[in-house]
A and B are shown apart, each in its own frame.
Chain A
Amino acid sequence: MTEMTYLRAISDGLRTEMREDERVLLMGEDIGVYGGAFKVTDGFIEEFGADRVMDTPLAESGIVGTAVGAAVVGLRPVCEMQFADFVSCGFDQIVNVAGKMLYRQGLPVNITVRLPSGGGFSGGPYHSQNPEAWFMHSPGLKVVAPSTPEDAKGLIIASIRDPNPVIFMEHKNLYRRVKGEVPEGSYETPFRARVAREGSDLVVITYGAMVHTALEATLDLDGASIMVLDLRSLVPLDEAAILAAVHECSKVVIVDEANQTCAAGAQVAALIAEHAFEDLDGPVVRVASPDIPIPFSPPLEAAVLPSVDRVREACRQLLEY
Chain B
Amino acid sequence: MATSSTDVPSGPKTTAQESPTSPSPHLTPDDRVGLLRDMLAMRTIEQRAMNLYRQGKVPGSFYDGFGQEAVSVGATWAMAAADRLCVLHRDLGAHIVRGVAPATILSQYMGREAGVTSGRDGNVHFGDYRTGCVGMVSMLPDMMLVAAGMAMAFKLRHEARCALTWFGDGSTSRGDFHEAMNWAGVQNLPVIFILENNQFAYSTPIDQQFAVNPVQRAAGYGFPGVSVDGNDVEAVFEATRAARERAIAGGGPTLIEAVTMRMHGHGAHDDMKYVPKALVEEWRKKDPIDRQSVRVTQLGVDVDALRKEVLGEVEEATKVALAGAMPDPATVTDRLFHPRDADEILLEDGEAPWSGFKGTPS
A residues within 8 Å of B by Cβ? Answer: 25, 51, 56-57, 59, 61-62, 64-75, 92-93, 96-97, 100-108, 139-140, 142, 161-164
Give the residue name and chain of the B residue nearest to A163 (CB): B338
* Contact yes or no, A92 B186, CB < 8 A: no
Residues of B within 8 A of A75 (CB): 153, 156
* Contact yes or no, A61 B127, CB < 8 A: no
* Contact yes or no, A104 B129, CB < 8 A: no
Cα–Cα distance between A164 and B338 once the two chains are bound (Å): 6
Beyond A57-B183, A65-B145, A105-B117, 12 additional contacts (C-beta under 8 Å) are A25-B156, A61-B142, A65-B180, A66-B146, A68-B146, A69-B146, A69-B152, A72-B129, A72-B346, A73-B150, A73-B154, A108-B338
* Contact yes or no, B179 A65, CB < 8 A: yes
Chain A CB within 8 A of B194 CB: no
Cα–Cα distance between A25 and B135 once the two chains are bound (Å): 25
Cα–Cα distance between A317 and B147 once the two chains are bound (Å): 56
In the complex, the 6 A-B pairs of residues with the closest C-beta atoms, listed nearest first: A69-B149, A65-B145, A66-B149, A108-B338, A62-B179, A69-B146
* Contact yes or no, B84 A73, CB < 8 A: yes
* Contact yes or no, A105 B142, CB < 8 A: no
Cα–Cα distance between A163 and B339 once the two chains are bound (Å): 7
Cα–Cα distance between A96 and B180 once the two chains are bound (Å): 17
**Could you show 15 A-B contacts with beta carbons less than 8 Å apart?**
A62-B148, A62-B179, A62-B180, A65-B149, A65-B176, A65-B179, A66-B145, A69-B146, A69-B147, A102-B336, A105-B116, A105-B121, A106-B335, A161-B340, A163-B340
Give the residue name and chain of the A residue nearest to B186 (CB): A57
Residues of B within 8 A of A65 (CB): 142, 144-146, 148-149, 176, 179-180
Task: Give which listed residue, B120, B149, B156, B163, contacts A51 with CB less than 8 A.
Answer: B156
Cα–Cα distance between A164 and B342 once the two chains are bound (Å): 12
| Complex interface bits, B135-163 against A, C-beta within 8 A gives 1, otherwise 0 | 10111001011111111111010000001
Task: Give which listed residue, B142, B337, B344, contacts A93 with CB less than 8 A.
Answer: B142
Give the residue name and chain of the B residue nearest to A158 (CB): B340
Chain A CB within 8 A of B134 CB: yes
The smallest beta-carbon distance between B234 and chain A, in angstroms, is: 29
Cα–Cα distance between A59 and B175 once the two chains are bound (Å): 10
Chain A CB within 8 A of B345 CB: yes
Chain A CB within 8 A of B77 CB: no
Cα–Cα distance between A164 and B340 once the two chains are bound (Å): 9
The smallest beta-carbon distance between B253 and chain A, in angstroms, is: 13
For window 102-134 of B, CB contacts with A under 8 Å fall at 116-117, 120-121, 125-129, 134
Known A74-B153, A107-B345; contact A61-B176, beta-carbon cutoff 8 A: yes
Residues of B within 8 A of A140 (CB): 336-337
The smallest beta-carbon distance between A150 and chain B, in angstroms, is: 21
Chain A CB within 8 A of B347 CB: yes
Cα–Cα distance between A66 and B342 once the two chains are bound (Å): 25
Residues of B within 8 A of A105 (CB): 116-117, 120-121, 126-129, 134-135
* Contact yes or no, A106 B345, CB < 8 A: yes
The smallest beta-carbon distance between A164 and chain B, in angstroms, is: 5
Residues of A within 8 A of B179 (CB): 57, 59, 61-62, 65
Which of B125, B128, B137 has the most CB atoms of chain A within a 10 A radius of its CB?
B137
Which of A61, A62, A64 has the most CB atoms of chain B within a 10 A radius of its CB?
A62
Give the residue name and chain of the A residue nearest to B147 (CB): A69
Which of A51, A97, A162 has the most CB atoms of chain B within a 10 A radius of its CB?
A97
Give the residue name and chain of the A residue nearest to B158 (CB): A51
The smallest beta-carbon distance between B222 and chain A, in angstroms, is: 13
Residues of A within 8 A of B28 (CB): none
* Contact yes or no, A103 B336, CB < 8 A: yes
For window 175-205 of B, CB contacts with A under 8 Å fall at 175-176, 179-180, 182-183, 186
The smallest beta-carbon distance between B154 and chain A, in angstroms, is: 7
Cα–Cα distance between A92 and B144 once the two chains are bound (Å): 13
Residues of A within 8 A of B176 (CB): 61-62, 65, 92-93
Known A59-B179, A102-B335; contact A72-B134, beta-carbon cutoff 8 A: yes
Residues of A within 8 A of B346 (CB): 72-74, 107
Give the residue name and chain of the A residue nearest to B120 (CB): A104
Residues of A within 8 A of B336 (CB): 102-103, 139-140
Residues of B within 8 A of A108 (CB): 338, 344-345
Known A59-B179, A65-B176, A163-B338; contact A104-B149, beta-carbon cutoff 8 A: no
| Complex interface bits, B317-345 against A, C-beta within 8 A gives 1, otherwise 0 | 00000000000000000011111101011
Which of A61, A64, A66, A102 has the most CB atoms of chain B within a 10 A radius of its CB?
A66
Residues of A within 8 A of B182 (CB): 57, 59, 62
The smallest beta-carbon distance between B164 and chain A, in angstroms, is: 12
Residues of A within 8 A of B126 (CB): 104-105
* Contact yes or no, B129 A92, CB < 8 A: no
* Contact yes or no, B335 A107, CB < 8 A: no
* Contact yes or no, B129 A106, CB < 8 A: yes
Residues of B within 8 A of A73 (CB): 84, 150, 153-154, 346-347
Cα–Cα distance between A75 and B340 once the two chains are bound (Å): 16
* Contact yes or no, B84 A66, CB < 8 A: no
